[in-house]
Amino acid sequence: MKFSIAHELPGRLRLRCPEGSFARAEGSVIGAILETQPGVTRAAVSHRTGSLLIHYTGDARESILTAVGLLDETFYKEIDGSSLVPQEPTLSESLTSLFGGVIGRALLPRMLRYGLTFLRALPLLGRGLRSLWRGGRLNVSVLDASAVGVSLLRRDFRTATVITTLLALGDLLESWTHKKSKESLADSLALNIDKLWIRKDGQEVQIPMIDLRIGDLAVVRAGSVIPVDGVVFQGSAMVNQSAMTGESEPVHRAPELSVYAGTVVEEGELVVRVTAFDSETRIHKIAEMINESEELKADIQNRAEKMADAIVPYSFLLAGGIYLWTRDATRATAALLVDYSCAIKLATPLAILSAMREGAKRGALVKGGKFLEALAAADTVVFDKTGTLTVSAPSVAKVIPFEGHTRETVLRTAACLEEHFPHSIARAVVKQAEKEGLSHREEHSTVEYAVAHGIASRLRGEKVLIGSAHFVFEDEGVACTPEQREVIGQEAEKYSVLFLAIGGRLRGILCIEDPLRKDAFDIVKRLHDVGIARVVMLTGDNLRVAKNVAETIGIDEVQAQLLPADKTAVVKRLKSTGKVVMVGDGVNDSPALAAADVGVAMCGGADIAQAVADVILSENRLHALIDVRRLGIGVMEKIHRNYAFIIGTNSLLLALGLSGTITPTMSALLHNLATIGASVYSLTPVLGKASESTAGGGNVPTWSARP
């Protein structure tokens, strides 16, 4: 089996196979086979994402990798998965079995019925004893076991039967609700496409997905799901992108525009040049992210779990005190049947999973609950300029040669050097050379890239440099005449400038026009509207260009001519006084993204930026940042409202049980209903209908930059 190591921790491996490598039943077979390997404690297999999550002990890592590599497709496809792994029953089947057993036992003779009640209680008693034995902790398992144990010791088998049934019902509903919430998030993003049409040699042919290659031309007609990420090569269509961006209206897609797997062609027909498919599509990476997301719990979730268990000892103290005061075992049992932890432990992760799903629909892919919490608490947003506030495809506005060089020579030489590096400005230079038909075959030696500075190489025996003024003039000591300085000063008022030097002399400049994104004009105002106190822009560009951008869109603070290390230092300084969100897209931004409380990457940016970021804006729309901020605030408010409901309701039930107003059986029933109610509320949308911010756009504001 082909695979790669996607993630690794001690005792834990996540492997990724090409999507479509195995079906659901075959995944069960693979998981069962892996769990027979020495040292493997658990193997979870996802047919949607081709993911294999393997937990192991000791030094079993190498043998596991060998075993996965030797798994032959012909072997696991010929075995019936159901023979190795029982099919999981549906919710209705589980409920039928649970209540059918209760009714069936009620018809049995008394002694047999009591014996079955005791047997049904053994797993609960065992779970409580194991918790005490292993960790010596008084947790919910011990609480449940105590309630059942007291009823059995009092020979109150009817109460014991009701308690075990309700606890089993609660466990069943909790497990099913959590599982369905997570599955629905992944299912909403999953693709089930085995074949597709491609255009080849002027004809349309249908091929299996496994035969698809990068660069192929996929044909997608009205009513069909786009199965790949790509760029429109031919055709025009209205595409429903709600699965990726949450946009309520279809968007027009035409040649040179991007389309994404999982979106739907509503009208028209497209021929799409494939840029990514299977495990490399954005929608697949979202689904894969969901599998990892629960490892990144919000601090509030961890606190909730700790608080829930911390309450348990007080339940025992209360039950003991009630019994000593009243000598009424029924009332004491009521204190054991109402716990706060079940609802708290279930409702909080469900709220976070639901919010993550809502964020994905609105164009913001959040990698874990802890980042939603940090977004809610943030007071500062830091933007990189190039490719973030400006469009991700800057263009060459002017090429000005010096010292007898021609415009074509300067552009050709610059493109020859820049084509090696995946930066938006480098792509602009290369694209301009291609547009003008200038071939730029490699005649230079090995290039050296100084991050945020420029590029150095040798061309026909002379040292050639391209990059910033700091790099060319200060670091490399290139001379610049007064006439050249005057020209540079004039152009730097309007453009970002790249400098080309050959043999220690300035040979030309390239003026880069980097227009602002449409949604950049009101992003600062909207951030202030949702509670962000300060908006900062950091850039490696010159100060005059940076100030012009800041004044146009109302940035509060700007710092220019920064190296990556400088950006990181600024972010760390800002963190010392509050929570910081950093938004960027390039290799240069990666250290700062990693240093921030929340790193936000544009999806069109560098791979490393997306890898280190905590949130990815899936459609390069800055307004998705507004929604994800509101989403973070909303889910934290929802969690706190749930806390109030859970504590208030269970405290009331506890008081009613202790006063004898309701029986322990009724107390257990109402407690489970309250837990279900909190869980259902957790799954409701935070933001409701898509907000105006998801639509992008916005008018140019009239305010100026703040002092």
pLDDT digit string (tens) for 657-682?
777 787 766 777 787 788 778 878 88
Q: How many CA atoms lie within 13 A of 122 on its CB side?
A: 6
- Measured CA to CA, the distance from residue 460 to residue 445 in angstroms comes to 9
In CATH, 195-280 is 3.40.50.720: no
Q: Which pLDDT does position 53 carry in this prediction?
A: 82
Fold category of 4-84 in CATH:
Alpha-Beta Plaits (3.30.70)
The predicted model scores a pTM of 0.56
- Mapping DSSP to helix (H, G, I), strand (E, B) and coil, where does residue 204 land? strand
Per-residue pLDDT for 580 more than 90?
yes
Helix axes 140-153, 157-187, angle to 10 degrees: 150
- Measured CA to CA, the distance from residue 277 to residue 218 in angstroms comes to 11
pLDDT digits (tens, 9 = 90+) for 119-168: 878 887 888 788 778 766 676 677 777 777 877 777 777 767 766 776 67
Q: Which amino acid is at 489?
A: G
- Measured CA to CA, the distance from residue 297 to residue 369 in angstroms comes to 5
Q: Which pLDDT does position 447 carry in this prediction?
A: 62
In the predicted model, what is the mean pLDDT of residues 179-204? 65
- If you average pLDDT over each of 229-238, 435-444, 541-550, 677-686, which comes out highest? 229-238
Q: Which pLDDT does position 179 carry in this prediction?
A: 58
In the predicted model, what is the mean pLDDT of residues 678-702? 56
178 token code pair: 């959590």
Q: Which amino acid is at 124?
A: L
Is the CB of residue 45 less than 8 Å from the CB of residue 31? Answer: yes
166 token code pair: 């309700």
Q: Which pLDDT does position 264 carry in this prediction?
A: 77
Per-residue pLDDT for 581 more than 90?
yes
Per-residue pLDDT for 683 more than 60?
yes
Handedness of CA 131, 132, 138, 144 (dihedral sign): positive
The maximal CA–CA distance of the chain, rounded, in angstroms, is 108
pLDDT digits (tens, 9 = 90+) for 311-357: 777 777 877 887 788 777 767 776 666 666 667 766 777 788 788 87
- Measured CA to CA, the distance from residue 231 to residue 329 in angstroms comes to 72
In the predicted model, what is the mean pLDDT of residues 387-414? 86
Per-residue pLDDT for 604 more than 60?
yes
Q: Which pLDDT does position 509 carry in this prediction?
A: 93
**CATH annotation of 395-513:** 3.40.1110.10
Is the CB of residue 676 less than 8 Å from the CB of residue 670? Answer: no
Is the CB of residue 533 less than 8 Å from the CB of residue 379? Answer: yes
Q: Which pLDDT does position 705 carry in this prediction?
A: 29
Question: Which is nearest to 698 in space by CA: 635, 614, 625?
Answer: 625
Is the CB of residue 232 less than 8 Å from the CB of residue 256? Answer: yes
* DSSP letter assigned to residue 475: I
Measured CA to CA in angstroms, residue 489 lies from 474, 495, 542, 544, 550 at distances of: 17, 10, 11, 10, 19
Q: Which residue has the higher pLDDT, 691 or 150?
A: 150
Helix axes 110-135, 91-106, angle to 10 degrees: 130
Structure-derived torsion over alpha carbons of residues 660, 666, 668, 672, reported in degrees to the nearest 10:
-130
Domain residue extents for the chain = 4-84, 195-280, 364-391+516-620, 395-513
Indicate if 384 belongs to the active site.
yes
Q: Which pLDDT does position 159 carry in this prediction?
A: 67
Measured CA to CA in angstroms, residue 404 lies from 202, 212, 422 at distances of: 48, 50, 31
- Measured CA to CA, the distance from residue 192 to residue 121 in angstroms comes to 43
Q: Which pLDDT does position 634 carry in this prediction?
A: 92
pLDDT over 90 percentage in the chain: 12
Per-residue pLDDT for 377 more than 50?
yes
pLDDT digits (tens, 9 = 90+) for 221-262: 877 778 888 899 999 888 876 555 444 457 788 898 888 777
Is the CB of residue 510 less than 8 Å from the CB of residue 399? Answer: yes
Banded pLDDT at 1 (limits 50, 70, 90): confident
The residue from 339, 384, 519, 614 that is catalytic is 384
Mean pLDDT of the residues in the chain: 76
Q: Which pLDDT does position 295 carry in this prediction?
A: 47
Tell me the sheet residues that pair with 267. Answer: 238
Parallel, antiparallel, or unpaired: how do β-strands 534-538 and 380-384 relate?
parallel
- Measured CA to CA, the distance from residue 22 to residue 4 in angstroms comes to 15
In the predicted model, what is the mean pLDDT of residues 573-584? 92
Handedness of CA 574, 576, 579, 585 (dihedral sign): positive
- Mapping DSSP to helix (H, G, I), strand (E, B) and coil, where does residue 584 land? strand
- Measured CA to CA, the distance from residue 696 to residue 587 in angstroms comes to 26
Per-residue pLDDT for 499 more than 80?
yes
Q: Which pLDDT does position 83 carry in this prediction?
A: 46
Q: Which pLDDT does position 188 carry in this prediction?
A: 46
Measured CA to CA in angstroms, residue 91 lies from 161, 343, 456, 668 at distances of: 21, 20, 65, 21
Q: Which pLDDT does position 246 carry in this prediction?
A: 43
Q: Centre a 10 Å sphere on the Cβ of residue 341 and count the other Cβ atoms it contains.
A: 23
Q: Which homologous superfamily is 364-391+516-620 in? A: HAD superfamily/HAD-like (3.40.50.1000)
Per-residue pLDDT for 487 more than 70?
yes
Q: Which pLDDT does position 650 carry in this prediction?
A: 81
Q: Which pLDDT does position 222 carry in this prediction?
A: 76
- Mapping DSSP to helix (H, G, I), strand (E, B) and coil, where does residue 535 land? strand
> Which range, of 54-58, 178-182, 256-260, 596-600, averages the lowest pLDDT?
178-182
pLDDT over 70 percentage in the chain: 73
Per-residue pLDDT for 177 more than 70?
no
Strands (E), 392-495: 395-401, 448-450, 454-459, 462-467
Helix axes 61-70, 24-35, angle to 10 degrees: 140
201 token code pair: 């040699």
How big is the chain by its Cα radius of gyration, in Å?
31
- Mapping DSSP to helix (H, G, I), strand (E, B) and coil, where does residue 376 land? helix
- Mapping DSSP to helix (H, G, I), strand (E, B) and coil, where does residue 232 land? strand
Per-residue pLDDT for 444 more than 60?
no
In the predicted model, what is the mean pLDDT of residues 500-523? 88
Q: Which residues contact 446 (CB under 8 A, 6 or more apart)?
A: 457
Residue-wise over 518-530: b if at least 16 C-beta within 10 A, else e? bbbbbbbebbbee
- Measured CA to CA, the distance from residue 215 to residue 218 in angstroms comes to 9
